[in-house]
Amino acid sequence: MDIFYRSTRGNERKVTASEAILQGLAVDGGLFVPEQIPAFDKTMKEFSEMSYQETAYEVMKLLLTDFTEDELKSCIRNAYDEKFDTETIAPLAEAEDAYFLELFHGKTIAFKDMALSILPHLMTTAAKKNQVKNEIVILTATSGDTGKAALAGFADVKGTRILVFYPKNGVSPIQERQMVTQKGANTRVVGIYGNFDDAQSGVKKLFADQELAERMQAKGYQFSSANSINIGRLVPQIVYYVYAYAQLLKEERIAENEFINVVVPTGNFGNILAAFYAKNMGLPIRKLICASNDNKVLYDFFRTGEYDRNREFVLTTSPSMDILISSNLERLIYRIAGNDAQKNAELMKSLNGEGRYEITEEMKAQLSDFYGNFATEEECAAKIKSLYEDTGYVIDTHTAVAAVVHDKYRADTEDGTKTVIASTASPYKFTRSVMTAIDGKYDEMDDFALVDELSRISNVRIPGAIEEIRTAPVVHDIQCDKTQMKEAVEAFLNL
């Protein structure tokens, strides 16, 4: 069955998966969604006997139907190789009463590696399939992790360039250093004076700039995105939920077709949306638990049906979740609106204009798969400390948000369903926040001394991604105001 994609905002032209990946964002500003969500054609028992790479093929072939078997398997083989430091790619760690799905064993020690390791291969394959002669310019906003993972994926990939915007004072020191030390003749990193929402809104505005697109076309360039708005980011994320379930089944921790819950620390809504797609493809997930930090716009949405970004933007110790406009939520809104692009477009127009929208009671009733809650800074720090003291297991600040919300869900519902928590980043990426949560005495140490101390207390080897940046020179030292992003693009491409 061929799967085609349409825009959430009403462009009637349907496109293939490869065309959707190349475009990134639809011309009307909408996001590409599959016309239908296919069902798995393998049983959970069959999945339990597969490697990560085999699972990836069996899942992705259902949604990327215009890629040949050889093309897709080649992309998977090149993505999920020795750049991951565990053979299983995404191992599960049991601690307290949950299974932590460790999604940080890739090159940049965050879950973004899981999809951004394969996106460059999908994109260059898609370009060949569609006879694209232009150079693909990857334009991306990051709240900390996507940027480095995208830079690492696209660095020196022939036929591409990549420009990453990040909030200058809104990422961790390790996150910033990972980006500004990135090598590659085709890479550029720009810190903007603004927050992540400013960066993301600026990127969307650049995608919609037809005059800029025409000038780029004349010079042989075209934009695409590595953000989770790109369907080529979303589809690979479905895989690790299937793989996690299959591993629990293989290890006889669950019975075949037994339901699990999934908790996801959520900012831009892409990661939890992938779990929602997995559920709709046939993965036995009972509840999708959406965990927010103090920027609790999603918690309020699930509680009231109103999405309102008109609030204070809070800088937290989980900066990848410091987001007030959750772009991927639009894909869910489109679905619960009955795939009504006009209705969705009206809501998004309201979000852009008034900063808020409210869904109908009928739409709200379709959110029963989800539970939302949030964790304060104090609760996250306490959870990091207690989990370490009780089990010796160290989690990062984003995973702590999920762990706190998991505890709240259990207390609210008394639901004892076995649970997978998406552990989205290595504690090494947020060493200061993690270590000072464990013991305030660590606040006196510098960032790399903290790295060494974390290794000592956790008995976990320091990842290569951290060792690499200890002495790496700064390659990118460019900043601009949030209003000057277009000028930064023009300078990068010599327009």
Q: Which residues are catalytic, by number?
A: 112
* 195 in Cβ contact with 144 (< 8 Å): no
* 96 in Cβ contact with 391 (< 8 Å): yes
- Give phi and psi for 10, each to the nearest 5: 110, 0
d(C-alpha 342, C-alpha 360), whole Å? 15
d(C-alpha 40, C-alpha 361), whole Å? 31
Residue 455 token pair? 């290794």
CA dist 36 → 114, 157, 372 (Å): 24, 32, 26
3-state secondary structure 159-193: CEEEEEEEECCCCCHHHHHHHHCCCCCCEEEEEEE
d(C-alpha 107, C-alpha 24), whole Å? 23
d(C-alpha 356, C-alpha 420), whole Å? 32
Task: Name the helix (H) or strand (E) containing 5.
Answer: strand 5-7
Nearest to 399 by CA among 107, 164, 100: 100
Q: Provide the total of helices (H) and of strands (E) in the chain, helices listed first.
A: 22, 15
d(C-alpha 213, C-alpha 23), whole Å? 12
Sign of the alpha-carbon dihedral angle for 23, 25, 30, 31: positive
CA dist 94 → 101, 104, 143, 251, 418 (Å): 9, 16, 28, 12, 11
The alpha-helical segments, DSSP class H, found in 26-169 are: 44-47, 52-60, 69-79, 112-116, 119-129, 145-154
Using DSSP, state whether 223 is helix, strand or coil: strand
Task: Name the helix (H) or strand (E) containing 413.
Answer: helix 397-413
User: In terms of C-beta density within 10 A (0-12 exposed, 13-18 middle, 19 or more buried), how is residue 214 classed?
Assistant: exposed
Residue 275 token pair? 């779990």
Residue 435 token pair? 């270590």
Residue 51 token pair? 């490697």
d(C-alpha 174, C-alpha 428), whole Å? 8
Angle at 248 between CA 239 and CA 95, to 5 degrees: 105
Residue 364 token pair? 């709200």
Cβ atoms within 10 Å of 251's Cβ, excluding its own: 12
